[in-house]
Amino acid sequence: MRHRIYFLLFVGLFGCIGCGSEKSTNELIADLSKGGEKERFVAVRSLTSRTGEVEKVLPALIAALKDKEDDIRLSAAIGLGVLGEQAKEAIPALQAALHDQDARIRRAAGVAINRIDPSQAKLSTAKKPGRSKS
């Protein structure tokens, strides 16, 4: 776990080395689908800020909700919440993420659904009988 925290700090601090040569949205989407863990993490975080290209970014962030790495799934859920109402088509994928094994991702998916469409958040919560609030 400690190794994971240091990795995330490293990516956060040094992930933008060379940001002067910022990658295009298409390059970030390619990194998200084919890159290594560091590239995918930087891509998912960067794509969230591309609010002017939601039609391109949204399918990539939705796909990232199924990434094998917890931190990438978490960042995708958070990013979709940041996009708010523009991310309505992500609600079914976020509802599926409410059943993720990682509690952080379940919480982030719930917050994202609430930010995108509060009426859907109430429905999603109602569908989870027996789920503890951990």
pLDDT tens string 3-18 = 555 455 544 544 454 4
Residues 98, 109 contacting (CB under 8 angstroms): yes
The number of domains in the chain is 1
Range ranked top by mean pLDDT from 10-14, 48-52, 62-66: 62-66
Question: Is 26 a member of any domain?
Answer: yes
Question: Is 131 a member of any domain?
Answer: no
Question: Is 132 a member of any domain?
Answer: no
Question: Is 134 a member of any domain?
Answer: no
**Model pLDDT for residues 74-121, shown as the tens digit of each residue:** 999 999 999 999 999 999 999 999 999 999 999 999 999 999 998 876
Question: Is 33 a member of any domain?
Answer: yes
**Confidence band, pLDDT 50/70/90 cuts, at residue 123:** low
Report the CATH number that the domain containing residue 65 is assigned in CATH.
1.25.10.10
